[in-house]
Structure 1
Amino acid sequence: MHLRLNELENTVKESEWYKNLTEEVRKNVSCKLYELVPRTCDVKYDIPKEDDNIKYVTTFKIETWRSGNYRVMFLKMYSITIEEETCYCMCEFPSVIGTMKIMEDKHLARFSHTYPGGVREEGSTTAAQFTTEDKKLQLGRFYYTMNSTLNHFPDCKDTARVLLFNDENKKKTLSKVLMDAIKKDLKEENFQEKKFKEGNQPPQIDRLESEELKYEFQVYVAHTDDDEEKAQQIIDHLRKKGMADSDIFDADSYLPGSSWTKKMEVASCKCRWFIFLLTKNALQDKSLNYNVVSALGDSIYRRKVRVIPVVDRCDNLVIPEALRWITYIPFDINGRHLESLYSIVS
């Protein structure tokens, strides 16, 4: 996909449609591809039918050769008009997310859930129907995985954007979601420098929620005593990038003398993001899974805490199921994981 996306802007600007536009209209044309990810996973294949403010304009054909194989991709350009303002963009619904809606509606899958107690050191695991909360979790993972894929190749950076939105909110129409995104992207392209958002701003993933949750802190870095130095590196990097001290939960100062389990319990209720250092040191603790379940309990399910394990690179990657992690970051001795963490929690 990346070999085609990096040709997107040239394809648009070299088209007869674009060349026939006035300079004024061109200022309202986004050359990005917008991947639309609705909260319900309800995929729409005829976008103009869903919103009268959206009209089909033209189709772009992108051809390329990769590994000796001919590839072709068709992308539709739409106009979005709200009142007297019109913008243009390419957008689509990723068809794969529709599968999650089918799984939920028709009970086609069962997921294991771990709860405190029942099994020594690990908690009890029960197979349960694929729920709305499971769907949100998988949708969150899809969002971060897709963003990581899109931004993996330098020549594809900023060529596409994943738009999470709550399609059950009737006040926020699809045309409004697209218009807001296009105007924001065009403004950033003009100014180029993107400033850090100060304070506890809602991350993209919150657009999947019906009600906005309030958090006292932005992030907490959970770690064993052996990994204290690695945790401090993460905290120092977040501060260096502009995150305020008041946004970082300092468990040692807040809860002096408390156990690691107690710190996790309190942090899970007060922090939006929960960075969990799962290095070899931590994974050697056989009671880890039990401690995590005991500490976090329902907070992961009810408070929607976002868990990001930072894991050692290894062939057998093991992340405790109880964490219900939304994305994970490989630990890097050269510190490359620090910027990845910042880009998520900021």
Structure 2
Amino acid sequence: MMLLPLSDLSSGRDVPAGDDGALAVAGRVIAQECAGLDALAEALGADTVLRRGFAAAVGMIDALPGRVVVSGIGKSGHIGRKIQATFSSTGTPALFVHPSEASHGDLGMMTRGDAVLALSASGESAELADIITHCRRHALPLMAMTCRPDSSLGRAADIVLQIPAMPEACPMGLAPTTSSLMQLALGDALAVALMERRGFTAGDFGTFHPGGRLGARLKKVNDLMRTGEAVPLLPGDASMRAVIVEMTHKALGCVGIVDGAGCLIGIITDGDLRGHLDRDMQMTAARDIMNSRPLTVQADILGAEALRMMNDRLRPVTSLFVLDPDGRPEGVVHVHDLLRAGVA
């Protein structure tokens, strides 16, 4: 199969049928949708209805005591569900209400303190009529994401997020393609702008994503560390024999050495022991062979960061002691704990 240059794929010129023709169509679609995104970005950067509406929407949602209720029908409804999911996972409470279900009881899901984000490219989706009426009756702020500010939806809205009118990528200009992508991108822009305004952190993100690989990567050290009797600790005057017994019993390949106040003053690894086997085990104290400058972490850092610290050393370490602000061990995390949790 002969592949066409990218310039041919995006130009829209006639090409042979078959695989090459399909690739040419793909190129035209992507180019058209990219043009839509460019137009959206330009509208946000100029003095436009969209720019003013976007700023107003972010300010209003940020101060909202309730939730963002997202609604739309058809392709706009599918995009709306994704926008609602992105809001919910990034710290903006939101739910999706189907317009038809709203007319049969689900209007009760919209309460005082909520705001509504309604999506309709044309702004004339009849199914949204009851939601618009409900917003007016109960003084719920209404945001309209539409291509037509002068539409029924646009005129009823308190805030209009005007999507630039761009040709659909469909050859008939009918199937929502470019307009749907622009709706999706604008919803993402709202969610990210709200995240940054609120100082939403990776830790916050982790609380909403506890499952799967993403959830694992966002777990903190205090979710993964071993605590209590599982932590190998000995005083500085412990003998090498005691160190070997404790290290063998706890099976982490290390022992933490603490002072009289319980603060960590050093660490002994199995490698340190092997390097001092020529010493008298009864006469050598733990403080004599310990590393007095061990790598440690605090409990509130991400497990992924702890794993990076382990691997960034010239000689990678396998265990990190977790200290409280006073320097006392709260726990210990082993590289195997991180790998089993799916942090890597």
Structure possessing the higher radius of gyration over alpha carbons:
2
- The one of the two structures with greater contact order (alpha-carbon pairs below 8 A, sep at least 6) is 1
| Greater share of residues in helix | 2
TM-score (norm 1): 0.29
TM-score (norm 2): 0.29
